[in-house]
Each structure stands twice: as structure tokens, then as C-alpha cells.
Copies of this chain bind each other. A is one copy, B any other.
Amino acid sequence: MNGSSLVKSESREAVLRAAQQLNYVPHAAARALITGRSRTIAVVLPDMHGEFFSELIRELDQCAHAHGQNLLVTSLHGDLAEVKQVLGLIHGQVDGVILMVPFNDARARLAPLLMTVPTVLLNAPGPINGCPAVTVDNAGGARQVVRHFLSMGYRNMVHIAGPSGNFDASERARGFRAAVKEAGLPVNRDIPGDYSERAGYLAGQLIASRSKRPRAIFAANDNMAVGCLEALTEAGVRVPEDIAVAGFDDIPIVRFTQPPLTSVHPPIAQQGVEAFEWLVKAVNRKPGEPPPSGPRERPLPTTLIVRGSTDRRAPARPSAQTDR
């Protein structure tokens, strides 16, 4: 017995010593079978691209270590229907699930599937079946960008939208629109996009070709902002003197673009912690107890990082001397 119970301390020591010698390690499956605990958390992501994924995993790995848990990572290669299959595959092998579902229709499509295992949703449009959702304040981030634009005197702004159906993207668009309207400015029609660098590039070309250009551009993610920046530069448009550009996500490369890109930094690490902590609580609660209170209802705040693409005076990229 590796736990603690009612054995004399010396006999326990003897057992442990023997175990050491025989190279004995308890069999996880047998243990999981009888205890009903696998000490493992599943992380299910819609895809494994971008910095979001790696930073999240990194953070969750930290949490897992701290709680003595293992991390089972998997991605949804196909449809959301695959969630069912994944949850099945995972049953009995996992105590809880962290599920990222950044889709507007997540509720309708997931509701029938969630109930077997304690689950935390990431970037979902809201709690589903009592599973809490840990979200980022996308709208707030967009608002920060608009406020920054206003403070710089940029009044004619346009948004390059993310893929329709994506919850984060529509929140960013919504926040942008609301903030512009609140400022009493006319709202330009969004330029459609799909988060790809190429979409941003095309959007940039489109904007550069217009006779009436906006003063500032807010792209729904950094990928598109980078593509847009490139198109503008190629077209001879000066950034930020002629047009300012801001993105969302604060991915590593934005420090290196010419000029460096202003971007909204999402609280990914914090998200990971909140999701994990709640999950651990939910998994460990006794059958009688009520589910733990949600991991703060409100979305987690973002941070605006101002760089040269919106403000010429922004401090140069922090040199390697001090960075990190």
C-alpha cells in the first residue's frame, strides 16, 4: 500500500525497500479500474496549429505536474461529431476533459454529448450542461484596440473578420463594432477573412486599392494582420503613417515584422490554470457535494501591446538584452 493507512511505519518501509529492489511499479490500469481514478486529464483541441495550442499545452503540463496528473492530448481532426468518439475512446482512461470548442453553434451540437465526464470548455460561447466555459474577453480586446486607435486620432477604422462560425472571431467583430459605435463613429463593413495570412494579404490589397482608405485596420488575428501588413507595404502604403494595423493573439513573430505589430495579448496561461484548477476540484469532489462554483463567470481580460504598426513612437522591440 503506497498510500497511508494502518500499517506500522517500519513494515511499510520494508515493503517499499523490497518494491525498489524488485523494480516494482503499480499497474496504472488495475489501479484505475478499482479506484475509478486515472489521474489523467484529457485535452481536446480543434486543431494543433498556432501559438495558442503550444502555450496552452505548456501551461496545462505545468498544472498537471503540480497536481500529479497526466495529460492526454488529442485533436479533433474532423467534425465536431468526433467529440463523441473521442469521449468514448477516453472513457475510463481519463478523469476529466478540457475541451476547446470555439464555435458559435457549440451548445446545440455538444449538449447531447456532455455529461459522462467532468468537463471544462475553452473559448466556448457559454456553459453547456453545467460544464463551465473559461473564455477570453475577445470583445474587450477589440475594444482596447479601438480605444487605442481613438487615442491616436484614428477615426476611420475597418475590421478584417475571422471565419464565420468561430466564436472568438465573432466576439472580436462584435466588440469592435460596439466600440466604434459608442465612439459615435460610422461602422464600416467588415472585410471577410478566415484567419489565414493569405486572407489578410488579400484584404490588404483590397484596402490599398480603394480610393477612400481607412486610417486604421484591426485584423481578427495576427496571421491576417501580418499578411495585410505585407500587402500594404508592397502597395507603397506606409504603416503606421498612412494606415495603422493591429492584430490579435500576440504571436511571437509580430515582434519581428516591419514595423512590429500592435496586438492584443490573450491570457492563455491564466485560462489554462483556471480550467485545470476547476477540473481538479470537480473531479475530486465527493458524490454528495455540489459541483464547485464556476471558475469566475466573466471572460479573462486581455492586454494590448502597442508596437510600431500603430504608433511610430512606440518603444522599439525590447532588445534581447532585456527580453524574457
Q: Decide if A201 is an interface residue (CB 8 Å cutoff).
A: yes
Chain A interface size, under 10 / 10 to 19 / 20 to 34 / 35 or more: 35 or more
Closest to A254 in B: B256
Q: Decide if A25 is an interface residue (CB 8 Å cutoff).
A: yes
Contact B92 A30 (CB under 8 A): yes
The one of B38, B92, B321 in contact with A198, judged by C-beta atoms closer than 8 angstroms, is: B321
The one of B30, B31, B57, B253 in contact with A48, judged by C-beta atoms closer than 8 angstroms, is: B57
Contact A91 B53 (CB under 8 A): no
Contacts of A226 in B (CB 8 A): 256, 320
The one of B54, B72, B87 in contact with A40, judged by C-beta atoms closer than 8 angstroms, is: B72
Q: Which of A29, A201, A255, A257 has the most CB of B within 10 A?
A: A29
A53 to B56 Cα, complex, angstroms: 13
A186 to B105 Cα, complex, angstroms: 65
Contact B33 A91 (CB under 8 A): no
Contact A27 B92 (CB under 8 A): yes
A23 to B117 Cα, complex, angstroms: 13
Contact A58 B64 (CB under 8 A): no
Over the window 242-256 of chain A, the binary record of Cβ atoms lying under 8 Å from chain B Cβ atoms (1 yes, 0 no) is 000000000011011
Contacts of A197 in B (CB 8 A): 320, 323-324
Contact B74 A230 (CB under 8 A): no
Closest to A231 in B: B320
A51 to B258 Cα, complex, angstroms: 22
Contacts of A27 in B (CB 8 A): 33, 91-92
Contact A29 B25 (CB under 8 A): no
User: How many copies altogether?
Assistant: 2
Contacts of A71 in B (CB 8 A): 72-74
Q: Decide if A90 is an interface residue (CB 8 Å cutoff).
A: yes
Q: Decide if A227 is an interface residue (CB 8 Å cutoff).
A: yes
The one of B57, B227, B319 in contact with A320, judged by C-beta atoms closer than 8 angstroms, is: B227
Q: Decide if A49 is an interface residue (CB 8 Å cutoff).
A: yes
A173 to B31 Cα, complex, angstroms: 47
A121 to B73 Cα, complex, angstroms: 20
Q: Which of A49, A54, A91 has the most CB of B within 10 A?
A: A54
Contact A26 B92 (CB under 8 A): yes
Contact B320 A201 (CB under 8 A): yes
A257 to B257 Cα, complex, angstroms: 7
Shortest CB distance A69–B (Å)? 10
Interface residues of A in 192-206 (CB under 8 A from B): 196-198, 200-201
Task: Show 30 A/B contacts (Cβ-Cβ < 8 Å), sorted by A.
Answer: A25-B87, A28-B90, A29-B32, A29-B92, A29-B93, A30-B92, A31-B92, A38-B93, A40-B72, A48-B57, A48-B58, A49-B58, A53-B54, A54-B54, A54-B57, A64-B74, A65-B75, A65-B77, A70-B90, A73-B73, A196-B324, A198-B320, A198-B321, A198-B324, A226-B256, A227-B320, A230-B319, A253-B253, A256-B257, A256-B258
Task: Identify the 3 closest CB pairs spanning chains A and B, nearest first.
Answer: A201-B320, A28-B93, A27-B92
